[in-house]
Amino acid sequence: MSSLRVFVTAILLAFFVSACTVQKSPITGSKRAYGYSWQQEVKIGKEADQQIQQQYGVYDDEEVQQYVDRIGQEVLEVSHMRREDTDPKYRETEFHFRVLNSPVVNAFALPGGYIYVTRGLLAHLKNEAQLAMVLGHEIAHVAARHASQRAFEQQLGQIALIGGAVAGEELLGIPGQSVLQLGSQAAQFLFLSYGRDDERESDQLGVEYAAMKSYEAEDGAGFFSALERISEQSGQSIPSWQSSHPDPSERATRIPELADQWREKGYEQNIENTDEYMSTIDGIIYGENPREGFSEDGNFYHPDLKFQFDYPDNWEIVNQPTLVAAVNEDQDAISLMEIDSETDSPESSVMNYVSQEGFSVQSQNTTQQNGLNSYQALAIATTEDGTEYRFLVYAVDYDGNIYRFTNYSLAEKFDSYRTNFEQTSYSFSELNDQDKLNREPVRLQAQKVDRSQSLSRFTDNLPMDITAEDVAILNQIDVDATIEQGNWIKIPRQ
């Protein structure tokens, strides 16, 4: 999974933590300093949760959502957030567990009890015990108030987010513009890197919570081994797990040791719940969902919304539920397309955008492209430091929606990209190709093996671009492994 660093604008978002608060830790019960009060953390988490659901999308499968929430709530029951000697303000805080509609292997938490796993992560787990360990780890981040601790430690400095220069690999591969839209406090928490000690503490507590619910906590080691294989396969750092995290191989070794410590304390760990887990994720979407848009041979297609547009050679597409961005190789030009739900015409969409403070309109006119009514404007925007950007803003009315393309670069480079911007915007049209309209996602088929056989027997006729190694990683086994009778296997099918 690529680490795309998107050029957005030279917007500097700086946030200062002006004061600290001293409160009892839910973990130790001792007083310590935090960047925010618990009430502030809950408020920030609630506000950001709504935006995260809107921008990234919640996976549309009620059974999967309810299952993850149930396991999360069960693990939460034995955590420090629910113990009798815990301060009521923590004990009474409601927790929310959500499955995000992303193929990236990721899990993260926001302050105040908001925990997320992706469908990509669920596809790579092998049983409920591993899920319990992952959810326990994220509960621990919230209980230990790690983000608030980091905020306090950085209160004397400046936390800066510049354009999209940091966005890609730390969360869900989103453009910087989307991160900035979360607001300063929410964005700050997403960019506060946990330290290695924070991660080790969360691993330790995640094992503790899983073991206390009688899960095979040591199974969590298999997931971190899979993460390491994903890293080796991609040739990049572990996708979606911050570089400050301990090495996956270290965690794979340490987790069984931690599980043994709890076994020695008398906690029997014998629950894996593989059957229920596999039955729940059977049919889950694997990889990108083409129904929500896909790129192919220099074109972007959206089957559900029935539109298409071209983008220049060597530009990269970033597709999110609320926007599609085409970014050039040098990352100094961007074409950002989104549905404008606030206006009712191409003209109002364009003019609302270029009427922002700092914009100066050079020209504007009504156009018609591919039989669709549209409107465009050329504008210049100047930042506080005097840097100039030139914009081509284009909006088109199609099938009940207003689609707006925001194209821009540094003013001195705009002329060299203008043809690219116009090509991308003007190519927006109705999608009629039945092959593209009928494109369906790859889904995982989970099945019990009725007789022992090699993995290679299951990897014939895999969907395009999926390899036997991908399947092996999905199942946390080697490529030459034998699947024993009665065991489960997950195979991508289309």
Lowest-confidence region among 147-151, 184-188, 426-430:
184-188
The pLDDT, as a whole number, for residue 182 is 39
Examine the pLDDT at 222 and tell me if it is beyond 80: yes
Residue 481 burial (10 A CB sphere; 0-12, 13-18, 19+): middle
More confident residue, 179 or 212: 212
More confident residue, 12 or 492: 492
Stretch (H or E) spanning 365: strand 359-369
Categorize the per-residue pLDDT at 234 as very low, low, confident or very high, splitting at 50, 70 and 90.
Answer: low
The pLDDT, as a whole number, for residue 183 is 43
Examine the pLDDT at 65 and tell me if it is beyond 90: yes
Give the start-to-end residue ranges of the domains of the chain.
12-281, 290-435, 441-493
Stretch (H or E) spanning 23: strand 21-24
Categorize the per-residue pLDDT at 52 as very low, low, confident or very high, splitting at 50, 70 and 90.
Answer: confident
Q: Are 396 and 402 spatial neighbours (Cβ–Cβ below 8 Å)?
A: yes
Amino acid symbol at 332: D
For residue 121, give the nearest of 109, 104, 137, 133 by alpha carbon: 104
**Average pLDDT value for the chain:** 85
Q: Are 407 and 249 spatial neighbours (Cβ–Cβ below 8 Å)?
A: no
For residue 303, give the nearest of 295, 312, 314, 311 by alpha carbon: 295
Examine the pLDDT at 254 and tell me if it is beyond 70: yes
Residue 474 to residue 455: CA distance in whole angstroms: 12
Categorize the per-residue pLDDT at 153 as very low, low, confident or very high, splitting at 50, 70 and 90.
Answer: low
Examine the pLDDT at 88 and tell me if it is beyond 90: yes
Categorize the per-residue pLDDT at 452 as very low, low, confident or very high, splitting at 50, 70 and 90.
Answer: very high
**Tally of CB atoms within 10 A around 336:** 21
Length of the chain measured in residues: 494
For the chain, percent of residues with pLDDT exceeding 70: 85
- Partners of 326 in beta bridges: 317, 335
Examine the pLDDT at 245 and tell me if it is beyond 90: no
Give pLDDT tens digits for 189-210.
444 456 678 888 999 999 999 9
Backbone angles phi, psi at 113, to 5 degrees: 105, 30
Q: Which of 38-47, 165-174, 423-432 has the highest mean pLDDT?
A: 423-432
Examine the pLDDT at 395 and tell me if it is beyond 90: yes
Average pLDDT (127-135) is 97
The pLDDT, as a whole number, for residue 187 is 43
**Dihedral sign of CA atoms 264, 265, 267, 272 in order:** negative
Average pLDDT (386-401) is 95
Classify each residue of 71-96 as buried b or exposed e, where b means 16 or more C-beta atoms within 10 Å of its C-beta. bbeebbebbbbbeeebeeebeebebb
Angle (nearest 5°) at CA 172 between 99 and 327? 140
The pLDDT, as a whole number, for residue 192 is 46
Give pLDDT tens digits for 265-322.
999 999 999 999 999 999 999 999 999 999 999 999 999 999 999 999 999 998 888 8
> Which CATH number fits the domain 290-435, given the four candidates 3.40.1000.10, 3.40.50.300, 3.10.20.30, 3.10.20.600?
3.40.1000.10
Give pLDDT tens digits for 368-385.
999 999 999 999 998 877
Categorize the per-residue pLDDT at 419 as very low, low, confident or very high, splitting at 50, 70 and 90.
Answer: very high
For residue 325, give the nearest of 358, 285, 295, 357 by alpha carbon: 295
**Dihedral sign of CA atoms 173, 179, 66, 76 in order:** positive
More confident residue, 47 or 310: 310
Examine the pLDDT at 454 and tell me if it is beyond 50: yes
* Helix-helix angle 184-191:38-56, to 10 degrees: 90
Structure tokens at 392: 């081509």
